Amino acid sequence: MASKLKELYFVFMNFDPEYERLRANRSKRGAYDLDMYLSRKHDEVLARTLQPGTYNKTFSLVIVDGFAVEITEDQAKMLRSTTDVRVVEKNQELV
């Protein structure tokens, strides 16, 4: 039986030359363009891979081209099989 429990996962993307180009622009406009590019890119990966309304992207990570998303373990497996995705890791709370 598939788990319905949603947990926070971090998703890191494969190399993207456009990300590298935008990251090199250190101006305010460059930072804005990078934020918008990554947010759109990450939303598109989720929309292509998972059913709408079944996940909650919490934020994009600009410094590493990744994002955090609340998903099930089965959804994490689906994201791992996507060609744009390098790594999907469940958030580990340190005690």
The structure tokens 């989720």 sit at 46
Q: Global pTM?
A: 0.91
In contact, 88 and 10? CB cutoff 8 Å = yes
Nearest in space to 46 (alpha carbons), one of 15, 88, 18, 5? 88
Over the stretch 30-67, which tens digit does the pLDDT of each residue have?
Answer: 999 999 999 999 999 999 999 999 999 999 999 999 99
